[in-house]
Amino acid sequence: MKLILTQEVSGLGEPGDVVEVKAGYGRNYLVPRSLAMPWTRGSEQQIEMIKRGRAAREIRSLDDAREAAARLAGLRVRLQTRAGSGGRLFGSISTSDIAAAVKKAGGPDLDRRKIEVQNPIKTVGTHRVGVRLHPEVSATLDIEVTGN
């Protein structure tokens, strides 16, 4: 099954890429979650629009990505949220919470889809998350979660 990716799918491709996947994976996972749409001969304009949108959102060059990684390395990010006894959070910290906290701390404006959290953040303390700034540049960010 031939599909056009509308969002980044790790291990498969970037938005605007035309990929060939098994029919069940495309029909049952990618298309219902709006990660991809069916490919047609007339979809070249859609592919071009997706690629233009992606280019406007992503960091322009490798130098910009390295500069953003340097800014993230020296950044101290704190998130304050409700926590119960024992340091357990009510809920968890999402990637959009992390992106907002980075911006509030004076860091670059990050796309929440580029933030990689290995394990859900559900406890108070310092946690490490990864950020994909460019296909060649990744950064790690330490986030301090405090309870109130």
Q: How far apart are CA 71 and CA 108, in angstroms?
A: 8
Measured between alpha carbons, how far is 42 from 70 in angstroms, rounded to an integer?
A: 43
The domain that holds 25 is classified in CATH as 3.40.5.10
If asked whether residues 44 and 70 sit together in one domain, one would say no
16 and 49 inside one domain: yes
Q: Is the same domain home to 33 and 76? A: no
At 84, give phi and psi (nearest 5°): -90, -175
pLDDT in tens, 38-52: 988 888 787 887 777
**What CATH number has the domain bearing residue 137?**
3.10.430.100
Give the pLDDT confidence of 88-120 residue by residue, as tens digits.
999 899 999 999 999 999 888 888 888 999 999
Query: Do 91 and 46 have their domain in common?
Result: no
- Rounded to whole angstroms, the Cα distance separating 5 from 9 reads 8
Q: Are residues 95 and 125 in the same domain?
A: yes
Domain of 121? 62-147
